[in-house]
Structure 1
Amino acid sequence: MKTSYFIILIITTFLIISCEKLIDVDIPDNQIDKESVFKDTQTANAALAALYADIMKSSPIAGGDLETYLSSYTDELDNYTTAASDVRDIFLNQQIDTNGIVYNVWASAYKNIYTANSILEGVQGSNGISPSDKKYLRGEALLIRSIMFFYLNQLYGDIPYPQSTDYNINNILYKTTYTQVLSNIEQDLLEVSTLLQNDYRSSERIYPNRIVARLVLAKVYMARHEWDKAENTLKEIVQSPIYQIEPDVTKVFQKTGKHILWQLKPNNNLSLRQASIYYFINASPSTYALSSRLINSFANDDLRKQKWMASVTFNGITYFRAEKYKNRGGNNMTEYSIIFRLEEAYLLLAEALAQQDKVAEALPYINRTRQRAQLPLLTLPITKNILLDEILLEDKREFFTEMGHRFLDLKRTGKLNMLQTTKPNWKDFHQLWPIPQKEILLNVNLKPQNTGY
C-alpha cells in the first residue's frame, strides 16, 4: 500500500509540473523515472489507479461536470444564476475562446491523455511486467485515451492528437482533422479489442473491459454514419451473456446492476456530485432545474418522470430537479458514477438498424426501455423517419443529464440546429466549441480558430 501511495504521489506531482501547459509541455527536467514507476505490475497498477482517480476528479466523463454543461448548452437544463459567468455563457450559447469551462474541459482531457501516454510508454519499456499484464495495462490506458479524444473531437472538431510525452513534439503539434481523429480512434480501439478480455478485473465493473471498447468503437461508427459496422459491433454487446437490462427503473443507478458496462467508484463512499448539483428544495432553483422542454417530452405515467426527477413547488411555481442519483448524505453505499450502460447500446442499435431500413428489426431494441418505463410499445406499421424521431426522443428521456448524451445525439443525427427554436442565441457554428485562447497563444499551429469565434 505504501508503494502504491508513493507512486500515485509521484505521478500526481509529475502531472502538476509537466501538464500545466497541456499540449505545450514543459521541458521535462523533473521527468519521472519510468524504470522505477513501471518496474513491476504493482507499481504500474498504481499509476493506472492514479489515472482513474484523476478521471473521477476532473475529466469530460467526471460526473456532474461536462454532462451538466452540455445539458444546459442544449435543452435539458435551465440555468437560474443571474450574474455574468462562464456557466451562464454556456447556457446562453455565448461562450468565447476565453471561457473557463471551454478551457477546463480541453485541459482536463489532455491531462488524462498525457497520463495515458506516460503509462503506455512506461509499460512498453518495462522489463519487470509480464506480457499478460502488459496487455490489460496497455489496453485500459489506450481505451481511456480514446474516450478522451472522442469527446474532444465531438466538442472541438479538428484537434491535436498527441501519442507520446515528448515535449519537442507536443509543443508544436498541428491539428488533426475531424475525420482523421475518428480514424485514429478506430484503430486504437481495434487494438484495445485484442488486448482486453470480456471478463472484468473487478466484479464492481470499475475498470473497463473489452465490451466498453466495443461500445466506444460503435459510437465512432455511428458518428461516421457507418451503420452496418455499428450494427455488427452493437449486436456483439447486446448479445453478451454478462449484461441484461435492469427491469426495475428505481435500480438503474445502483452500482450492482448487470446493465452497467463501466462505472467509477467515489473515494471513501462519498456521495456523487450528480446527487447534489441538481438538488434544491423549498425554494426556487439557484443553479439548475430541468427545462420545461424536457419535462413535456414525458408522458405523466412514464416511470422515469416519476422516479428520476422530483417536483418542487415554490411561490406557486413548480420546478423539476434531476433525481437519478439519490444519496446525498455523504455515506453512499449504493451508487457509483455510471459512464456507460447497456441501454445506450440498445438505442444505438435501434438507430443503426432504422438507418438501414430495418424497421421491424429495430423495434424490439427501442421497446426495451419503453417497456421498463411502462410506455406503450411501438409497433408496425411505422415509417423509418418516424421511428428515428422516436429513437431520438427516447434517447432524450432515457439519458437526460448523463454524459452529454443530448449534445452527442443531436450532433450525430444532424439536428443540433433544432435548438434554434428554443434557444434564441443558437447559431450553426455552435456545433463546435472554440479552441481555448490560452492554447493558441502557446502553440500557433492550432490556428485557425473554429469558425464563428
Structure 2
Amino acid sequence: MSEIYAQLRDNSLVSGGTGGLGVLMGLYADELDYYGTPVGSVGQFYNHTILSTNEQVSSFWNSSYSIIYGCNAILQGLEKSTKLSLEDIEPLQGEALAIRSLTHFNLARLFGDIPYITTTDYTVNSTVSRLPIQEVLEYIVNDILEARSLLPEENFIGNHIYVDGTVATALLAKVYLETEQWQLAIEATTMLIEDGPFELGENVENVFLKNSPATIWQLKPREGNNTMEGQTFIFTVGPPPFAALRPEFVGAFEPMDTRRDLWIGEVTNGSDTWYYPNKYKLNTPGRSEEFSIVFRLAEMYLIRAEARAHLGILSEAKNDLNAVRQRASLPPITATSQEEILNAIATEVFHEFFSEHGLRWFNLTRTSNATETLLPIKPAWQPTDVLLPIPQSELLANPNLLPQNPGY
C-alpha cells in the first residue's frame, strides 16, 4: 500500500506534477495558457490537436492501470493470507478497493468506455474489452460501498494521508453527482459536512496547509519536500517557463474575493503580467508544511448545493453555496431561479477548484458545456474532444479495445 500511495503522489492522474490532471486538463480546458514547446505532447493538449500516439495520453492510461494492477495484487494477496488477522486485512482491502475505484472513475471520465480490471491475470487482462461507461460506474459504486464497509470511519493518523471511510464517502458523493443521483449525493455529502470531523474554516488562508481542518484526503510529499503542485506552478520571472493562468480567468473574480489575492500569484517584467496558481506556496526542499490535497470539504458543500438545486431545494442550495462564498469574504448570492443558482454554483466551483485535478474540465463535460465554453477560445476544438483517444499502442496490443473513440 505504501507503494500505491507513492505512485499516486509521483505518477498518477491525481499527481500535482506536469503529467497530472491539474496541469494537462487545465491546459485542455480554459484554466491555463501554455508557454512550452507547441509541437510536443503537452502542446497537443493545449491546442486540441491530440493524436492517439500522444505520450501524455499513454501515460494517463498506463500509470492508472499500473495502480489498478497494484490494488488487485494487494486484494488477491490478502485473500490468500493465512498470517494476517481480519483486523489487519479489512482496512487494507478497503484502501485498495477505494483507490481502484477512484482510478477507474477518472479513467472513465477521460476515455468513456474502458475495461474494469479486477485481476492480475495477464491472460485475462491482455484480451479485455471496454465496458459501457454506465456499467463501469456501477462497478465503481459497488466497490466504494464495499470499501466503506471495510474501512474505519476515520483515521486520525498522519494528517488524513490514508484512505478511510470519509474518503470513500467523498468519492461516492462525486460518483453520485456524475450519475445525477441527486438524493444519494445529498446523503453522502451530509455525512461529511454535518457528521464528519471536518470544518470549512473561516478564511481561505490556511486551506492548503497540511493540518487544514477542511482536508478529507491528501498525499504526503517525499520527506523534506513540499508539494509537486508548488514545484509545477510557481515561477518568479516572466515569461512563464511552462504554464500560467489565463488572464481572462483571473479577471473574472469578484472584487472582494480573497481567493484572488491569496491563491493567485503575479509576476511582471514591467510591461507584461503573468499569473500562477499560488494555493501551494512552498516549492523548495525543507520542512513539509503542505501536502497535496485530493478531496476537501468545500467540494462536498458545492456537490450538495448542486444536488439540492436540481431537486428544487433552492434555499438550502443557496445556503451551501454561500457557506463557501462567505469563507472567501463574498456576500450571499441574490439568484432566485434554479438556472441562476446552478450557474452560480458552476462559477464557484471554477473559482474554488482551479488547477485541482481537472475539476473544471470534468464539470464542463458532465454538464455538456464543453463545446459552448471552449469553441470560442480553442480554434481546433471539436465536439468529439470531450473524450481522449484510446492510446494507439493499446489498440495494437489488444484489438478487443476497438473501436477507437470518435474523432481520432
TM-score (norm 2): 0.97
For the Cα contact (< 8 Å) 1:201–1:207, is it kept in 2? no
1:179 aligns with 2:134: yes
For the Cα contact (< 8 Å) 1:208–1:261, is it kept in 2? no
Q: What is the deviation of 1:83?
A: 4.0
The residue type paired with residue 242 of structure 2 is T
| Number of the residue aligned with 1:403 | 357
Provide runs of 4+ in structure 1 moved above 3 Å.
Answer: none
For the Cα contact (< 8 Å) 1:297–1:393, is it kept in 2? no
Could you give the per-residue CA deviations for residues 125-147 of structure 1, whole angstroms, max 9, x where no partner exists? 10111112111010000000000
State which structure, 1 or 2, has the greater radius of gyration over its C-alpha atoms.
1
Stretch of structure 1 that moved more, 62-71 or 184-193: 62-71
| Number of the residue aligned with 1:336 | 291
RMSD of aligned alpha carbons: 1.2
3-state secondary structure, aligned to 2:205: helix
1:421 aligns with 2:358: no
2:111 to 152, 156, 166: 156
Please list, as runs of the form range in 1=range in 2, the aligned pairs for 1:6-405 lying within 5 A after superposition. Answer: 48-64=1-17, 65-200=20-155, 202-379=157-334, 382-405=336-359
Distance 1:342 1:201 in 2: 16
Stretch of structure 1 that moved more, 120-129 or 61-70: 61-70
Distance 2:25 2:291 in 1: 21
Distance 1:375 1:232 in 2: 27
Unaligned ranges ≥5, structure 1: 1-47
Q: What is the deviation of 1:192?
A: 1.0
For the Cα contact (< 8 Å) 2:141–2:172, is it kept in 1? yes
Could you give the per-residue CA deviations for residues 140-172 of structure 1, whole angstroms, max 9, x where no partner exists? 000000000000000000011110001111010
Distance 1:426 1:139 in 2: 40
Could you give the per-residue CA deviations for residues 42-62 of structure 1, whole angstroms, max 9, x where no partner exists? xxxxxx111111211111111
Q: What is the deviation of 1:370?
A: 0.7
Could you give the per-residue CA deviations for residues 259-316 of structure 1, whole angstroms, max 9, x where no partner exists? 1000010111213221121222232112111002311220232100000011111251
Distance 1:234 1:207 in 2: 19
Q: What is the deviation of 1:333?
A: 2.5
Identity %: 36
Query: Aligned pair in 2 of structure 1 residues 241, 174: CA closer, same or farther (>3 Å)?
Result: closer
Distance 2:376 2:319 in 1: 32
Query: Aligned pair in 2 of structure 1 residues 340, 390: CA closer, same or farther (>3 Å)?
Result: same
Distance 2:83 2:212 in 1: 37
TM-score (norm 1): 0.87
The residue type paired with residue 383 of structure 1 is S
Count of aligned pairs: 405
Q: What is the deviation of 1:383?
A: 0.5
| Number of the residue aligned with 1:13 | none
Unaligned ranges ≥5, structure 2: none
Distance 1:259 1:350 in 2: 17
